[in-house]
Amino acid sequence: MSEREVAEQLKHERDLIADELHDIVAHEITIVALHAAVLDRTEDVQTRSQSQTAIREAAVQALTDIRRVLGMVRGEENLSPERVSSPDGITGTIAAVTKELGQAGIAVTADVPADLRLPSASLVALTRVIRESATNVLKHATGAHTVSIVLRVERGWVHLTFADDSPPARTAGLPASGYGIMRLRERFRLFGGTFESERKSQGWVVSASLPLSG
């Protein structure tokens, strides 16, 4: 292996580990921060209990994910980009974000083909879009009440739309790095697909498309 190939492989592995760390910090820690804020401002017993449960589950998941990333650094975990971030793929990822957004008072509707079959790389890319979009709703889309997730396979392409109904100019006050969106845009470009995230009249809309071959 040439020196250039070694350098490219090292960069690729660093990017994968950075993506994993970003997912942990952006997703699980966002949940902890938001529900900690809920505990500060409510005395309702049921609401406090739900937030405490959400914090506990997110913290446990973050610790589990951190151990896995450390395993990647030590060479004990596979660094393959085809590793699926959710063990249940699209269905499991949607179920997880539906629960997390529901705990924040945001209802999720999902329209996904029951017999969906996707290449591993496409599956990973799409689950990351769903996770990143859900995180951004929690962090920035204060005032959102509903989220819609629609996935379609048409003419050799898979199309994902993730939309919320948040009003403009309202955020939860949590910092934004822009890293997740940047990496998703880059990933979809490399796969020959498209990725857009923009505010429209009805709220934020994320649109992602990938060819199923090539």
pLDDT of amino acid 214: 52
pLDDT of amino acid 107: 96
In terms of DSSP bridges, do strands 157-164 and 194-200 run parallel, antiparallel, or are they unpaired?
unpaired
Q: How confident is the model at residue 175 (pLDDT cuts 50, 70, 90)?
A: low
Among the ranges given (20-29, 50-59, 78-87), the one the predictor scored with the smallest mean pLDDT: 78-87
pLDDT of amino acid 69: 77
Q: What is the mean pLDDT of residues 97-110?
A: 92
pLDDT of amino acid 171: 54
- E-assigned strands of 54-131? 107-111
β-partners of residue 198 are 205
Please check whether residue 195 is in contact with residue 184, taking contact to mean a CB–CB distance below 8 angstroms.
Answer: yes
Q: Over the chain, what is the mean pLDDT?
A: 81
pLDDT of amino acid 79: 53
Q: How confident is the model at residue 82 (pLDDT cuts 50, 70, 90)?
A: very low
DSSP secondary structure letter of residue 86: S
Q: What is the mean pLDDT of residues 69-90?
A: 64
pLDDT of amino acid 141: 66
pLDDT of amino acid 81: 47
pLDDT of amino acid 177: 57
Please check whether residue 159 is in contact with residue 165, taking contact to mean a CB–CB distance below 8 angstroms.
Answer: no
Q: What pLDDT digit, counting tens, does each position of 190-213 carry?
A: 888 999 998 888 888 999 999 987
- CA distance linking residue 82 with residue 75, whole number of Å: 16
Q: What is the mean pLDDT of residues 164-188?
A: 72
Q: Where are the alpha helices (DSSP H) in 74-178?
A: 89-103, 120-140
Q: What pLDDT digit, counting tens, does each position of 25-63 carry?
A: 777 888 888 788 888 888 888 888 988 988 898 888 888
pTM of the model: 0.73
pLDDT of amino acid 172: 52
Please check whether residue 157 is in contact with residue 210, taking contact to mean a CB–CB distance below 8 angstroms.
Answer: yes
β-partners of residue 160 are 151, 208
Q: What is the mean pLDDT of residues 153-177?
A: 78
Closest of 57, 208, 32, 73 to residue 128, by C-alpha:
208
